[in-house]
Amino acid sequence: MMLLLKQPQTFLLAALTLVMVGCGEPLPGKPLLSERAIPLSEQMEFGELYRINCTGCHGADGKGGPAPSLNDPLFLSIFSDKQLLEIVHNGRPGTLMPAFSREEGGLLSEAQIQSLAAGIRATWAKAEGVPDNPPPYLASSPGDPAAGQAKFELYCARCHGKDGQGGTEGAVNNPAFLELISDQALRRIIITGRDDLGMPNYLGLVEKSSQKQPPTSQDISDIVALMGTWRTAPARRLANQEKQEAPAPKATPTAPAATQPTGTTP
Ligand code: HEC
Ligand code: HEC
Q: Write out pLDDT tens, residues 125-143.
A: 999 989 999 999 999 999 9
| Ranges of each domain in the chain | 42-124, 145-259
CA dist 206 and 201 (Å) reads: 10
Which residue from 163, 172, 227, 230 has its CB within 8 A of the most atoms of ligand 2, so it is best to mutate? 172
pLDDT tens by residue, 189-227: 999 999 999 999 999 999 887 888 999 999 999 999 999
Fold category of 145-259 in CATH: Cytochrome Bc1 Complex; Chain D, domain 2 (1.10.760)
What's the Cα-to-Cα distance from 55 to each of 22, 99, 110, rounded to whole Å? 39, 15, 20
**Residue 101 phi, psi dihedral angles, 5° rounding:** -75, 150
Residue 194 has φ and ψ, to the nearest 5°, of: -130, 85
Of 3.90.1300.10, 1.10.3720.10, 1.10.760.10, 1.20.58.100, the CATH number of 42-124 is 1.10.760.10
Q: Following DSSP, what letter does each residue of 160-193 receive, concatenated?
A: H-TTSS-SSS--S--HHHHHTS-HHHHHHHHHH-
Whose C-alpha lies nearest to ligand 2, atom 20? 199
Query: What pLDDT shows up at residue 37?
Result: 77
Nearest to 185, CA basis, from 94, 50, 247: 94
Pocket-testing residue among 43, 49, 57, 61, ligand 1, by greatest number of atoms within 8 A of Cβ:
57
Residue ranges in the chain modelled with pLDDT below 70: 1-35, 233-266
What pLDDT does 151 receive? Answer: 97
| 194 three-class SS | strand
pTM, whole model, 2 decimals?
A: 0.81
* pLDDT given at position 209: 79
